[in-house]
């Protein structure tokens, strides 16, 4: 069943009602009631549009359309889960765009207007955000063999609920027959940019060619509990003060490089005992360094070690860093970039090659299957915020672009590199 | 029933088993199972030693000994609740010392060896620590009319449990007939110093003459959620970074004054949304300034305002301070200090007048009734830590001193100023 751009916008508005927040965004962390409600609606949408719905053991929700019996799939998708108090577009836009593109191309194939060599499927990857269950990109990590299914299912949120329990609380656990990696020939994903490069340059669509390099850490600051009032300043071993020095040092690090060369952040922190009259004995936090330049990242990592040592000395605490993620300046397949570019050219959309700072499910998929990653503009680059916004004309332009990309992929245009 | 110092130490060891931690301390926050178990044991101890146990609506647990029918009480006490992973002495030492001193003096009175004009009572004030339920000194604040009973009972912990619910979970809710403020003629409390002035000067006991001045705040840092990776550094409004700047500024403030003139701390923090890939929109924390000099405190408060403005500008956040507590350099009654000093002289204990940095239940009581506050040494000044320690000979010396103070108070020696 083909769809119109008006239908896409109408579906998007309906979908954005699940987990809607007063501030105009959505709040549907993975496996919550709001996420399950969105998944249910999407499952019904798939059925209404002729897809077969199949959910795998990691909670990835697929819709398949078989146009070439027995052939592998061109898989399109992204994720429907969100950060807390997040925007409507991040992930959800890409899933719905993928579903509409799949429906359109399958209709053309059925009508004989294509010469398809692959089947078509759409996926809603489980827990891309990682805010409730760490790590992020969980569903696509299991699918691509980077994370053991058992480990994913056993992951607990801060309240102690596991992924397995959170998934069981939903009603899409259809289980059998879902696609596995070997069934997938090509992958394509579209996402809002979450930055403002396209907007600033007046470019309509972006073809993602590389991912920023990143080094992520878990930082533990160990001090000693004591009374906030009576302990002399020079006797204190204040873990929260040590943590504050690390946060400030990470920020200062970014200022030592040219603008846009290093992004640093600390965003999550746990303090013990977190009492108003007891100096903290421990603070645990994340710390991320990201750069579009491998050398900058390496220098930043060296500098960080020095700054950590300074913070330790000043706060009389012990600070340990454990690297939790490290990836280099990874390229998307040039053939995929070329196919995305050719598609934009054909449709007359202004386009540019662009790097992604954020990780996406395509970050996993591109490592194992030829992948095309597309961006549409984000107003003011705002993301992970209820004010996240992409204009309707940009949104439907993206659906058209993804449809053309899918058309070409289904025809077998993209050679594996 | 009189008691010996050996019995005191034996009782103290038994009591320290409730909520005992692997690290040699105790963890019995107000109204927890461990606190209730300690209260039950103390209630049984009171009964075994001839006290009548009475608990008031705020959870304050009294034991009364009537030796002068109808007369008001000399009240002795402190608190049995603790910080998380705390030491065995803070509060608990004072309650048990008060109970033993009361038993000893009542026995002397019954034997005709005193000429008592008051009755004697001991109290375990509910929730002095304030780590689970804010504010601290809750029970004595209600007792002295500084906090409404209804407000105290409705106070919820971070999990949503109220004081009323936490109290109802225990079995000491005897209710009727507990002493009220009008029944109390004098108050005395003994506590570990939680500092190392007595230890450093080799002084056996301290007579508390003043409280450090303090100004306490709730600090709210408001930023904006955004993606930790893709948001440009110059566009960020990172609430956790703003908070880190405030924590560092508070620490730097202390370094601008001579050692011991200003103590500053931040020890409790809540971050929203506290996600690994979303810049914090809000951080809420406490911030305390304390000084033995009112002018220093006033200058520190002015400087803090300037530093907050700097932190706001640098982090592009909005930072608001709400003062939650403010007290001046409050004196204990000189007549009480004189009585404590005379008692130490009589027993041949080396002694000194000393200020308290920490608040105590006596901080409340001294405002409404003639009060004597005593200190014994803390090894290395360590407190709010499992390693908190006071030597046995110091502990029993304190019981002896409190007994002599009680003897004098019961005789009516201390005139109200």
Residues B263-282 as b or e (16 or more Cβ within 10 Å = b): bbbbbbbebbbbbbbbbbbb
Which among A327, A347, A379 is the end of a domain? Answer: A327
B346 within some domain: yes
A314 and A377 share a domain? no
Helix axes A92-110, A392-410, angle to 10 degrees: 50
Residue identified by tokens 């207007």 is: A113
B218-231: average pLDDT: 96
Supply the ipTM of this predicted assembly. Answer: 0.91
Q: Residues 190-229, chain A: which have Cβ within 8 Å of B?
A: 193-196, 212, 214, 224-229
Chain A CB within 8 Å of residue B94 CB: no
Q: Are A25 and A388 in contact (CB under 8 A)?
A: yes
Looking at B311, B327, B343, which one is the last position of a domain?
B327
Q: Are B359 and B349 in contact (CB under 8 A)?
A: no
* Overall average pLDDT of the B297-307 stretch: 97
Q: Is residue B416 a part of any domain in this protein?
A: no
In terms of domains, do B48 and B95 share one?
yes
In a domain, B41, yes or no: yes
B279 neighbourhood in chain A, CB within 8 Å: 265, 267, 384
End-to-end Cα spacing for chain B: 33
Same domain as B217, residue B181: no
Query: If you average pLDDT over residues B409-413, what whole number do you get?
Result: 96
DSSP assigned state of A50: T
The confidence score (pLDDT) of residue B414 equals 86
B417 within domain boundaries: no
Closest CA to A410 of A189, A115, A66: A115
Residue B187 and residue B280 in one domain = no
H helix or E strand, kind and range, residue A278: strand A278-279
Residue A299 domain flag: yes
Residue B179: give its domain's CATH number: 3.40.630.10
Answer for the pair B374, B380: CB distance below 8 angstroms, yes or no: no
The pLDDT tens digits for B187-202 are 999 999 999 999 999 9
Same domain, residue pair B271 and B148: no
Strands B73-78 vs B119-124: parallel, antiparallel or unpaired: parallel
Looking at residue B416, its pLDDT comes to 55
**What pLDDT, on a 0 to 100 scale, did the predictor assign at position B172?**
86
Please check whether residue B42 touches A, CB under 8 A: no
Gap between the Cα atoms of A375 and A385, Å rounded = 18
Same domain assignment for residues B155 and B248: no
Kindly give the pairing relationship between strand A184-192 and strand A73-78: parallel
pLDDT for B175 equals 58
Domain that includes residue B273, residue range: 213-327
Q: What is the pLDDT along chain A (417 residues), one digit of tens a residue?
A: 689 999 999 999 999 999 999 999 999 999 999 999 999 999 999 999 999 999 999 999 999 999 999 999 999 999 999 999 999 999 999 999 999 999 999 999 999 989 999 999 999 999 999 999 998 999 999 999 999 999 999 999 989 999 999 999 998 866 578 999 999 999 999 999 999 999 999 999 999 999 999 999 999 999 999 999 999 999 999 999 999 999 999 999 999 999 999 999 999 999 999 999 999 999 999 999 999 999 999 999 999 999 999 999 999 999 999 999 898 888 999 999 999 999 999 999 999 999 999 999 999 999 999 999 999 999 999 999 999 999 999 999 999 999 999 999 999 998 754
Mean pLDDT of B205-220: 97
* Measured distance between the N- and C-terminal CA atoms of chain A, rounded to whole angstroms: 33
Q: Do B233 and A383 touch (CB under 8 A)?
A: no
A317 touches chain B (CB under 8 A): no
CA dist B126 and B141 (Å) reads 10
Residues 6 or more apart whose CB falls under 8 angstroms from that of B50 comprise B1, B65, B103, B106
Say if residue B177 is in the same domain as residue B276. Answer: no
Question: Is some CB atom of chain A closer than 8 A to the CB atom of B251?
Answer: yes
With beta carbons under 8 A apart, name residues in chain B contacting A268. 271, 274-276
> Could you tell me the CA-to-CA distances from B64 to A174, B39, B102 in Å, in that order?
68, 15, 9
Q: Are B205 and B193 in contact (CB under 8 A)?
A: no
- Three-class SS state of B220: strand
| Sign of CA pseudo-dihedral B240, B245, B246, B250 | positive
Tell me the CA distances in angstroms from A171 to A39, A155, A175, one per residue in order. 9, 20, 11
Q: Is the peptide bond before B135 cis (omega within 30 degrees of 0)?
A: yes
Question: Which tokens belong to A75?
Answer: 């898989």
HSE value, Cβ hemisphere, 13 Å, CA-based, for A209:
11
Q: What distance in Å separates the CA atoms of residue A77 and residue A56, rounded to the nearest whole number?
A: 15
pLDDT band at B417 (very low <50, low <70, confident <90, very high): very low
Q: Which two tokens stand for residue B82?
A: 């603790």
Same domain, A51 and A193: yes
Q: What are phi and psi of A224, to 5 degrees?
A: -140, 135
In a domain, B415, yes or no: no
Last residue of a domain, one of B327, B354, B380: B327
Q: Determine which of B267, B284, B307 to mutate to test the interface with A (most A C-beta atoms within 10 Å).
A: B267
Do B280 and A288 make contact, defined as CB atoms within 8 angstroms? Answer: no
* A58 and A117 together in one domain: yes
In a domain, residue B400? The reply is: yes
Q: Which two tokens stand for residue B214?
A: 């303090």
How far, in Å, are A28, A141, A304, B204, B373 from residue B376 at the CA level? Answer: 55, 60, 45, 7, 11
The token pair at A357 is: 């700072």
Across the interface, of B271, B274, B358, the residue whose CB is closest to A227 is B358
Relative to beta strand A184-192, strand A371-376 is parallel
- In which region does residue A381 sit, left (phi positive, over 0), alpha (psi from -120 to 50) or beta (all else)? left
Asked, for residue A417, whether it belongs to a domain, the answer is: no
Strands B205-211 and B351-356: parallel
How far is residue B80's CA from residue B42's CA, in Å, rounded to a whole number? 9
Beta bridge partner(s), residue B216: B288, B325
CA dist A181 and A183 (Å) reads 5
Which helix (DSSP H) or strand (DSSP E) does residue A240 occupy?
Answer: helix A239-255
Same domain, A284 and A336: no
B245 touches chain A (CB under 8 A): yes
**Cβ contacts (< 8 Å) between B388 and chain A: which residues?**
none
d(CA B283, CA B242): 8
Q: How many domains is chain B partitioned into structurally? A: 2
Q: What is the C-alpha radius of gyration for chain A, rounded to an integer number of angstroms?
A: 23
Specify whether A192 is located in the same domain as A159: yes
Tokens representing residue B215 in the block: 């100004």
Crossing angle for the helix pair B5-15 and B33-48, nearest 10 degrees?
A: 150
Residue B292 is part of a domain; what is its CATH number? 3.30.70.360
Same domain, B106 and B150: yes
Task: Tell me which of A346-350, B167-171, B348-352 is least confident.
Answer: B167-171
């Amino acid at each position: 069943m083909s769809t119109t751009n008006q239908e896409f916008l109408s579906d998007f508005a309906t979908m954005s009602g699940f987990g809607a927040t007063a501030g105009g965004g959505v709040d549907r962390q993975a496996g919550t009631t709001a996420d399950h409600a969105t998944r249910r609606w999407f499952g019904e949408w798939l059925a209404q549009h002729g897809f077969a719905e199949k959910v795998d053991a990691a909670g990835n929700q697929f819709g398949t359309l078989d146009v070439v019996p027995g052939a592998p799939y061109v898989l399109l998708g992204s994720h429907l889960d969100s950060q807390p108090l997040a925007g409507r577009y991040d992930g959800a836009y890409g899933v719905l765009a993928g579903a509409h593109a799949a429906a359109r191309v399958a209709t053309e194939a059925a009508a004989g207007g294509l010469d398809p060599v692959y089947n078509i499927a759409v996926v809603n990857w489980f827990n891309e955000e990682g805010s409730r269950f760490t790590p992020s990109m969980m569903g696509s990590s299991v699918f691509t063999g980077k994370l053991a299914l058992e480990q994913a299912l056993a992951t607990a949120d801060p309240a102690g609920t596991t992924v397995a329990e959170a998934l069981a609380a939903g009603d899409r656990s259809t289980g059998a027959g879902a696609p596995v990696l070997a069934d997938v020939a090509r992958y394509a994903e579209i996402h809002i940019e979450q930055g403002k490069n396209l907007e600033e340059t007046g470019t309509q669509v972006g073809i993602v060619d590389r991912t920023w390099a990143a080094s992520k850490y878990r930082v533990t600051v160990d001090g000693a509990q004591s009374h906030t009032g009576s302990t002399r300043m020079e006797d204190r071993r204040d873990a929260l003060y040590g943590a504050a020095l690390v946060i400030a040092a990470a920020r200062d690090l970014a200022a030592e490089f040219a603008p846009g060369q290093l992004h640093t952040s600390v965003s999550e922190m746990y303090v013990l005992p977190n009492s108003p009259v007891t100096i903290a004995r421990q603070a645990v936090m994340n710390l991320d360094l990201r750069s579009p330049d491998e050398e900058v990242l390496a220098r930043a990592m060296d500098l960080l070690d020095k700054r950590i040592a300074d913070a330790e000395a000043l706060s009389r605490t012990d600070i340990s860093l454990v690297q939790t993620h490290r990836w280099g300046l990874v390229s998307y397949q040039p053939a995929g970039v070329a196919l995305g570019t050719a598609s934009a050219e054909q449709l007359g959309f202004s386009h540019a090659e662009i790097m992604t700072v954020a990780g996406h499910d395509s970050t996993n998929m591109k490592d194992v299957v030829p992948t095309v990653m597309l961006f549409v503009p984000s107003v003011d680059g705002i993301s992970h915020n209820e004010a996240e916004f992409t204009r309707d004309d940009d949104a439907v332009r993206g659906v058209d672009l993804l449809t053309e990309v899918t058309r070409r992929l289904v025809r077998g245009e993209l050679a594996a590199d």
